[in-house]
Structure 1
Amino acid sequence: MKDNSYIKIASIYVGTIIGAGFASGQEIMNFFGKFGVNGLIGIIIATSLFCLIGSIILSAAHTNNIYSYNQLLEKIFGKSISKVIDFLIILFLIAGYCIMLAGSGAIFQEQYNIDANIGILFMAIATFITFIFSVKGLSTVNTVIVPFLLISIVYIGSNVILHEGININVLNHINTSNDYKFIISSVTYVGYNMIPALVILTSVGSLVDSKKNAIKGGILGGLFLGILALFILMPSLILYNDISTLELPMLNISSYSNYRGKYLYSIILWFAMFTTAIGNGFGIITRIKPIFNIDQKKLCFLFCVISIFLAKFGFSNLIMILYPIFGYISFLIIICAFLKLVFKGSIVR
Structure 2
Amino acid sequence: MWSAGLKWMFLIIGTTIGAGYASGRELWQFFGHESGLAILLFVIFFSVSCGVILKVSYERKSTQYLPVLREIVGGRLTGFYDVMIFLYLFTTTVVMIAGSGATGQAFNLPYWLGIGIMVIALIILFLKDINGLLAMNQFILPLLLGGLLFILLLFTIDQELALFSHWQEQRNWTAAFPFTALNILPLIAVLGAIGNKIRSRQEIWIACVGSGLILGVISYIYNNSLIQIADELLLYEIPLFAILKHYPFEILILMSILLWFAIFTTAAAGVLGIVTRIKDYFKKPLWLIVIVTLATMIPLTQLGFSTLVAYVYPVYGILNLYVLTRLLLYPIWNKMENRHSN
- When normalised by structure 2's length, the TM-score is 0.89
- Choose the corresponding residue for 2:190, options 171, 191, 200: 200
Q: Please tell me the residue identity of whatever aligns with 2:318.
A: Y
Report SS of the residue matched to 1:312.
helix
1:23 Cα deviation after fit: 0.8
The whole-number CA distance in structure 2 between the counterparts of 1:204 and 1:168 is 37
Between 1:119-128 and 1:52-61, the stretch displaced more is 52-61
Match of 2:146 in 1: 151
The whole-number CA distance in structure 2 between the counterparts of 1:141 and 1:219 is 21
Match of 1:286 in 2: 276
What does 1:176-187 align with in structure 2 at a 5 Å threshold?
Answer: 178=169, 180-187=170-177
Between 1:133-142 and 1:201-210, the stretch displaced more is 201-210
Q: Please tell me the residue identity of whatever aligns with 1:148.
A: L
Compared with structure 1, are the counterparts of its residues 327 and 347 closer, same or farther at alpha carbon in structure 2 (3 Å cutoff)? farther
Q: Please tell me the residue identity of whatever aligns with 1:32.
A: F
Checking the alignment, whether the CA contact within 8 Å between 2:129 and 2:287 is kept in structure 1 is: no
Aligned length: 339
User: Do residues 111 (structure 1) and 110 (structure 2) align?
Assistant: no
- Choose the corresponding residue for 1:258, options 203, 225, 248: 248
1:41 Cα deviation after fit: 2.6
| Deviations 1:234-270, CA, capped at 9 Å, x for gaps | 3223344444664322112123232443332221221
Checking the alignment, whether the CA contact within 8 Å between 2:2 and 2:206 is kept in structure 1 is: no
1:227 Cα deviation after fit: 2.3
The whole-number CA distance in structure 2 between the counterparts of 1:347 and 1:131 is 40
The whole-number CA distance in structure 2 between the counterparts of 1:18 and 1:202 is 18
Report SS of the residue matched to 2:277.
helix
| Deviations 1:40-63, CA, capped at 9 Å, x for gaps | 232222122222211121122112
Compared with structure 1, are the counterparts of its residues 165 and 196 closer, same or farther at alpha carbon in structure 2 (3 Å cutoff)? same
The whole-number CA distance in structure 2 between the counterparts of 1:58 and 1:126 is 28
Checking the alignment, whether the CA contact within 8 Å between 1:338 and 1:347 is kept in structure 2 is: no
Checking the alignment, whether the CA contact within 8 Å between 1:99 and 1:315 is kept in structure 2 is: yes
Match of 1:32 in 2: 31
1:297 Cα deviation after fit: 2.4
The whole-number CA distance in structure 1 between the counterparts of 2:280 and 2:336 is 28
Between 1:20-29 and 1:65-74, the stretch displaced more is 65-74
1:197 Cα deviation after fit: 1.5
Report SS of the residue matched to 1:139.
helix
Checking the alignment, whether the CA contact within 8 Å between 1:16 and 1:197 is kept in structure 2 is: yes
Checking the alignment, whether the CA contact within 8 Å between 1:29 and 1:244 is kept in structure 2 is: no
The whole-number CA distance in structure 1 between the counterparts of 2:69 and 2:8 is 21
Checking the alignment, whether the CA contact within 8 Å between 2:45 and 2:328 is kept in structure 1 is: no
1:308 Cα deviation after fit: 2.5
Q: Please tell me the residue identity of whatever aligns with 1:227.
A: V
The whole-number CA distance in structure 2 between the counterparts of 1:237 and 1:200 is 32
User: Do residues 60 (structure 1) and 17 (structure 2) align?
Assistant: no
Between 1:135-144 and 1:308-317, the stretch displaced more is 308-317
* Structure 2 spans left out of the alignment, 5+ residues: none
The whole-number CA distance in structure 2 between the counterparts of 1:319 and 1:239 is 20
1:210 Cα deviation after fit: 0.6
1:346 Cα deviation after fit: 7.9
The whole-number CA distance in structure 2 between the counterparts of 1:97 and 1:112 is 22
User: Do residues 43 (structure 1) and 49 (structure 2) align?
Assistant: no
Compared with structure 1, are the counterparts of its residues 116 and 59 closer, same or farther at alpha carbon in structure 2 (3 Å cutoff)? same
User: Do residues 298 (structure 1) and 318 (structure 2) align?
Assistant: no
Q: Please tell me the residue identity of whatever aligns with 1:86.
A: D
Report SS of the residue matched to 1:68.
coil
Compared with structure 1, are the counterparts of its residues 135 and 337 closer, same or farther at alpha carbon in structure 2 (3 Å cutoff)? same
Percent identity at matched positions? 26
Checking the alignment, whether the CA contact within 8 Å between 1:105 and 1:116 is kept in structure 2 is: yes
User: Do residues 165 (structure 1) and 160 (structure 2) align?
Assistant: yes
The whole-number CA distance in structure 1 between the counterparts of 2:163 and 2:96 is 36
1:127 Cα deviation after fit: 0.9
Q: Please tell me the residue identity of whatever aligns with 2:4.
A: S
The whole-number CA distance in structure 1 between the counterparts of 2:56 and 2:297 is 32
Between 1:110-119 and 1:120-129, the stretch displaced more is 110-119
* Structure 1 spans left out of the alignment, 5+ residues: none
